[in-house]
Amino acid sequence: MVAILFEGKSDEEFFRSILSFYQLDISKILFYNFQGKDNILNIGHKKYDEIEIDISVGKIQKVLVVVDADNESDQNPNRGFVKSKEALKKLLSDLNFEVNIDFYIMCDEQKEGNLESFLLSVLEDTQRKCIDTFKECYQYELSDKWVYNSFYKQKKHPFDFSHSNFDKLKQKLQNLYKET
How far, in Å, CA of 95 to CA of 63, rounded?
Answer: 11
pLDDT(42) > 90: yes
Residue boundaries of the structural domains of the chain:
2-123+160-177
The tens digit of pLDDT for each residue in 140-162 reads 778 888 788 777 766 655 678 89
**The CATH number fitting domain 2-123+160-177, selected from 1.20.120, 1.25.10, 1.10.3470, 3.40.50:** 3.40.50
pLDDT at res. 180: 55
Rounded average pLDDT over 76-91:
94
One-letter-per-residue 3-state SS of 77-127: CCCCHHHHHHHHHHHHHHHCCCCEEEEEEECCCCCCECHHHHHHCCCCHHH
| Residue 73 CB-density burial (10 A; 0-12 exposed, 13-18 middle, 19+ buried) | exposed
pLDDT at res. 75: 81
pTM over 0.75: yes
Select from 13, 37, 31, 29 the least CA-distant residue to 105: 37
How far, in Å, CA of 29 to CA of 78, rounded?
Answer: 27
